[in-house]
Amino acid sequence: MQENKTENEYLTGRERMVPAGGLELWTEEFGDPAHPTVLLVMGAQAQGIQWNDGIVRRLVDGGRRVIRYDHRDTGRSSTVDFAQQPYTVADLASDALAVLDALGAERAHVVGASLGGIIGQRLAVTHPGRVLTLTSLSSQPLGTDTAAAVQRAMEGAPPLPGELPAPRPELLAALASAFPEPQAGLEDYLAARLPLWRVLHGQVLPFDEDEYRAMERRAYERARDPWAALNHALAGAAPVGSTAELASVTAPSLVLHGTEDPMFPPAHAEATAAALPGARLVMIEGMGHTLPRALDDHLADRILQHTTA
């Protein structure tokens, strides 16, 4: 017999390491297991905890079971020798399925941010029966060759005809110095990371440095190897699938995007929504390429509305 639990008890995360193709992935589950599942998929080099507790709490209060997890090479999940065990976005999508399988979730509302949005799109194409709804947040269309666009931008070459815009120059400059040498300590690490978060956040909404400092400190202190996350740049460099495949997606789709996103300017959101049949596009005024706590309720309410419909 299932033990009776109070609403507050369901707000306490239940952590578990789960198997995924010879690796172990850290997962955390909230909410009543009988409620509809929302799988939160974070972006490149980011940990599951970077889905703010405020978003999780609001989703649970709205009657959802919420799962967040660390990708391979991030947080408490297994790290990989990429030269010996290279992987792609398709493998990261398989990891997401492994999380659902291990936690007994046959189907889920998939919410992906940045690279997580691409992973969600991939799942909606390859495993439509597992995806109840899709929310692509601060992302771009499946199959976009961002690495090539970035390379041309850094060389000063014009974009190709029809190519989506590259990340803004100030972001490319910040990314170049976002990771100090591996022997650096915590304070040097934070000093290198905070300028990147300032650019990613955008220039419209107030920037709370203490919020980002606390988030980066937590991520650094719980990571098996903070530098292993750089492998995600290698994994994402090889496009997987094509934008045309999104025409086959049957899951109701929502595209959420910030008007000030410096990583994927708004044209990426418009292209994603155009490629997903019947997708709804919602632009969030002032938001950049981060999830500040000030937007927790707004983002969660959008997700709740979409996953209810």
CA torsion angle for 264, 94, 40, 79 (degrees, to 10)?
Answer: -90
Angstrom distance (rounded) from CA 257 to CA 259: 7
Amino acid at 76: R
Task: Name the nearest CA neighbour of 289 among 116, 164, 151, 154.
Answer: 116
Angstrom distance (rounded) from CA 121 to CA 98: 16
């500040």: which residue's tokens? 292
Q: Going by C-beta distance under 8 Å and a sequence separation of 6 or more, which residues neighbour residue 244?
A: 143, 275
In which element (H, E) is residue 66 found?
Answer: strand 65-69
Residue 252: helix, strand or coil by DSSP? coil
Catalytically annotated residues: 114, 261, 289
